[in-house]
């Protein structure tokens, strides 16, 4: 399935036609209302939690297939073991690197990925060299690094290089599909393009919205949703304002966690 067309039926609503004839309707107003309600509940989240831009690159690899708290342990151990710089990562013995990031899981594979990404980073001229590239060129450069997939590349683009790209992850798919905004199994680039077309190049919106969706997906809109605790459901009920999590589009609005 590929993105066939995007058209605007009225300002801020993007109707995305897929080649199978399906439609995705993404509405900037809804996305902004979602963000507003999540920020009111969680507060600003100030992502990405890192002490340097290079650390964001390392964190984006370490967070693959694991929870963020495991990444925090891995980063803390890494910092205690060696300077968190590309040269130090490249020069570190494999066993030492793998041992330091053990809490993140798949530590041997990830140690190799950290080293490969660090080599590519240095060869490209470090941050400044990569930052000179246009966004699509930079994405291609990142995707060419073994172990960097689309979500990892877009995390790096958005948070390390401050580019206006929207990251699609499992939390986003789950929440958007429960809200009735997508099916959930669309190809990565279809969903990313649809959100970006609906919102425009809104880096600040993407920056905070992704962080908020991760928080919602971790704490509330889990595989078994805790709708009784969901800020979307409660704020809609309390204020009577336009509901983000509304009627049948959110299929579990009254299910309570066990
Ligand atoms: S109401 Fe339930 S299903 Fe809907 S977004 Fe909230 S937690 Fe998820």
Give yes or no for a contact between 59 and 69, defined as CB atoms under 8 angstroms apart.
Answer: no
Which DSSP symbol is given to 66?
Answer: S
Counted residue by residue, the chain has a size of: 258
Give yes or no for a contact between 100 and 74, defined as CB atoms under 8 angstroms apart.
Answer: yes
Cα of 16 to ligand 1 centre, how many Å?
Answer: 24
Q: CB-based contacts of 235: which residues, under 8 Å, 6+ apart?
A: 37, 40, 41, 241, 244
Query: What pLDDT sits at residue 8?
Result: 37
Query: What pLDDT sits at residue 118?
Result: 98
- Per-domain boundaries in the chain: 3-40+169-217, 53-160
Give the number of other Cβ atoms within 10 Å of residue 119's Cβ: 14
Q: Which of 184, 237, 252, 256 to mutate to test the pocket of ligand 1 (most atoms within 8 A of CB)?
A: 252
pLDDT, tens digit only, all 258 positions of the chain = 333 443 434 445 555 555 555 556 677 888 888 999 999 999 999 899 899 999 999 999 999 999 888 999 999 999 999 999 999 999 999 999 999 999 999 999 999 999 999 999 999 999 999 999 999 999 999 999 999 999 999 999 999 999 999 999 999 999 998 888 888 888 999 899 889 988 888 899 999 999 999 999 999 999 888 888 888 876 544 444 444 554 445 654 443 333
Query: What pLDDT sits at residue 3?
Result: 39
Cα of 210 to ligand 1 centre, how many Å?
Answer: 16
Cα of 31 to ligand 1 centre, how many Å?
Answer: 15
Give yes or no for a contact between 123 and 87, defined as CB atoms under 8 angstroms apart.
Answer: no
Atom of ligand 1 nearest to the CA of 220: 7
Cα of 175 to ligand 1 centre, how many Å?
Answer: 7
User: What separation in angstroms does the CA of 152 have from each of 56, 84, 99, 248, 249?
Assistant: 10, 19, 22, 33, 29
Q: Distance of alpha carbon 114 from its chain centroid, rounded?
A: 19
Atom of ligand 1 nearest to the CA of 255: 2
Does the CB atom of residue 103 touch ligand 1 within 6 A? no
Extract the tokens encoding 188: 């990565």
Nearest C-alpha neighbor of 98 from the set 118, 78, 79, 72: 78
Of the chain, the end-to-end C-alpha distance in Å amounts to 38
Query: What pLDDT sits at residue 110?
Result: 98
User: Measured between alpha carbons, how far is 215 from 209 in angstroms, rounded to an integer?
Assistant: 10
User: What separation in angstroms does the CA of 10 have from each of 29, 138, 148?
Assistant: 12, 32, 37
Nearest C-alpha neighbor of 118 from the set 95, 69, 84, 76: 84
Cα of 245 to ligand 1 centre, how many Å?
Answer: 7
User: Measured between alpha carbons, how far is 199 from 210 in angstroms, rounded to an integer?
Assistant: 13
Q: What are the φ/ψ torsions at residue 153 (nearest 5 degrees)? A: -60, -40
Does the CB atom of residue 210 touch ligand 1 within 6 A? no
User: Measured between alpha carbons, how far is 251 from 182 in angstroms, rounded to an integer?
Assistant: 13
Cα of 224 to ligand 1 centre, how many Å?
Answer: 10
Query: What pLDDT sits at residue 147?
Result: 96
Does the CB atom of residue 38 touch ligand 1 within 6 A? no
Q: Which long-range CB contacts under 8 A does 78-85 form with residues at least 24 apart?
A: 84/51, 84/52, 84/54, 84/55, 84/58, 85/54
Question: What residues form DSSP beta bridges with 8?
Answer: 14
Tokens 């790096």 belong to 156
**Which residue's CA is minimally distant from atom 3 of ligand 1?**
252
CATH of region 53-160? 1.10.340.30
């Amino acid at each position: 399935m590929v993105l066939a067309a995007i058209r605007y039926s009225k300002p801020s609503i993007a109707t995305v036609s897929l080649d199978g004839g399906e439609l995705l309707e993404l509405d900037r107003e809804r996305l902004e209302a979602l963000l507003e309600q999540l920020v009111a509940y969680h507060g600003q989240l100030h992502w990405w939690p890192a002490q340097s831009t290079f650390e964001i690159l390392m964190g984006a690899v370490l967070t693959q297939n694991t929870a963020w708290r495991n990444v925090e342990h891995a980063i803390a151990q890494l910092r205690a073991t060696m300077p968190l710089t590309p040269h130090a990562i490249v020069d570190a013995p494999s066993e030492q690197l793998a041992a330091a990031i053990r809490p993140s899981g798949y530590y041997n594979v990830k140690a190799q990925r950290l080293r490969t990404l660090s080599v590519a980073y240095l060869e490209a001229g470090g941050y400044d060299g990569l930052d000179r590239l246009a966004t699509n060129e930079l994405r291609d450069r990142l995707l060419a690094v073994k172990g960097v997939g689309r979500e990892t590349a877009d995390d790096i683009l958005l948070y390390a290089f401050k580019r206006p790209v929207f990251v699609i992850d499992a939390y986003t798919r789950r929440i958007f599909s429960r809200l009735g905004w997508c099916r959930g199994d669309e190809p990565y680039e279809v969903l990313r393009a649809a959100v970006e077309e609906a919102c425009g190049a809104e880096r600040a919106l993407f920056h905070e919205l992704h962080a908020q969706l991760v928080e919602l997906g971790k704490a509330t809109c889990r595989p078994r949703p805790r709708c009784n605790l969901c800020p979307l459901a409660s704020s809609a009920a309390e204020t009577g304002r336009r509901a983000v999590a509304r009627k049948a589009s959110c299929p579990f609005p009254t299910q309570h966690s066990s």
